[in-house]
Amino acid sequence: MSANTSIFEVDEASDLPIWVQLRNRIAYLIRTGRLKGGEQLPSIRSLAADAKINYNTVTKAYRDLELEKLIVSVRGRGMYVQKNLTAQGEQKTLAIDAVLEDCVQQYRSLGMTFDEIDDHVRAITDSMRSEARSAAEERTIYYDAE
């Protein structure tokens, strides 16, 4: 990944804790090959500063990724993407892709064009995003009232 590109942005509308969002994002980047085996991850301090999140949040996400054996810590040098990843992550992605392909085929069997399917899926994700934002706003109002 380019040094100028942030690998993570907090999704304020998400119900997931920030450390889980970060872990999921890095795992996704690794499993899809956007972060390659042996590639160095940003330092904990620089990622925390770049994403405007707490140092301990990044530490927790990195620890969890280490436990998943997706990254490895090299003492005095930093965190690196594991070089010899199993195909497990790729298999998970392929399984999800297969589910999505099945959904697209079912839409096609209803006579929908690919453009109509794109629009329909976009409407669904937009609705989900809106619901998540509303929930986040309600949480903010609740916590502000305390």
Ordered domains of the chain (ranges, CATH): 18-81 (1.10.10.10), 88-145 (no CATH)
Beta-carbon contacts of residue 66 (< 8 Å; ≥ 6 apart): 72, 73, 79
pLDDT tens-digit readout, 56-113: 999 999 999 999 999 999 999 999 999 877 555 566 777 788 888 889 999 998 999 9
Give, as one character, the DSSP assignment of residue 80: E
Instruction: Say if CB 37 and CB 83 are below 8 A apart.
Output: yes
Query: Which H or E run includes 132?
Result: helix 114-145
Burial (CB count <10 Å: 0-12, 13-18, 19+), residue 41: buried
Q: Nearest CA to 43 among 83, 3, 9, 13?
A: 3
Instruction: Decide: pTM greater than 0.75.
Output: no
